[in-house]
Amino acid sequence: MAEEEMDLRGLKCPQPILKIHARVTKLPPGTTIKVMADCPTFERDLKIWAAKTGKTILECVKTGNIWRARIRI
């Protein structure tokens, strides 16, 4: 399956999740999205969004102040 990348650094809540949501509505199921974000609440927001939308978080790791996540839609 395809893998998309999104660089959402510099955006603060709720913008990263809104941008992810807008992107996934245009992609086929099974696509993986790699996301970079530096929003302090990104991990919490991502978990809530994934639970509400049925998406799978494959990975969400913080290195320094950057979150790197992989999401399967």
Q: What is the pLDDT of residues 7-52, one digit of tens each?
A: 999 999 999 999 999 999 999 999 999 999 999 999 999 999 999 9
Would you say 31 and 2 are in contact if contact means Cβ atoms under 8 Å apart?
yes
Average pLDDT of 54-58? Answer: 97
The pLDDT value given to residue 15:
98
Retrieve residue 4's tokens: 């998309």
pLDDT band per the 50, 70, 90 thresholds, residue 1:
low
33-42 pLDDT per residue, tens: 999 999 999 9
Q: Distance between CA 16 and CA 48 in Å, rounded?
A: 13
